[in-house]
Amino acid sequence: KKRERLEHQLRAIREVVTPDTVILAAARAKEIHNSTLQLFEQIIGETKTSLAWKKARLIYSQFSKPELREATPTLVWPLDGTP
């Protein structure tokens, strides 16, 4: 679920950034995996990380408008008794 939320947030950011924009993200070092960095690269563009300091790490992304596949549609489940 965390990955899907991050993907949603990155796609929203992608809609408003320009090529001059540098995106800076921070997280605990143990939470930043290769798949996280690949997601940044797929959606935003060139991505680098800092060295860990006090168990934290920074992610630097430069927007380069990479080709992007369509997002998977959100499933909507009807609730009983609602219109």
Question: What burial class does residue 13 get, using C-beta atoms within 10 Å of its C-beta: 0-12 exposed, 13-18 middle, 19+ buried?
Answer: middle
Domain-located, residue 76: no
34 lies in a domain?
A: yes
For the chain, 83 residues long, give each residue's pLDDT as a single digit of tens. 688 888 889 989 988 888 888 899 999 999 888 999 999 999 998 999 999 999 999 999 998 877 777 766 667 777 888 76
Residue 80 belongs to a domain? no
Q: Is residue 47 part of a domain?
A: yes
Handedness of CA 66, 46, 39, 5 (dihedral sign): negative
Domain region containing 46: 2-63
Domain count, the chain: 1
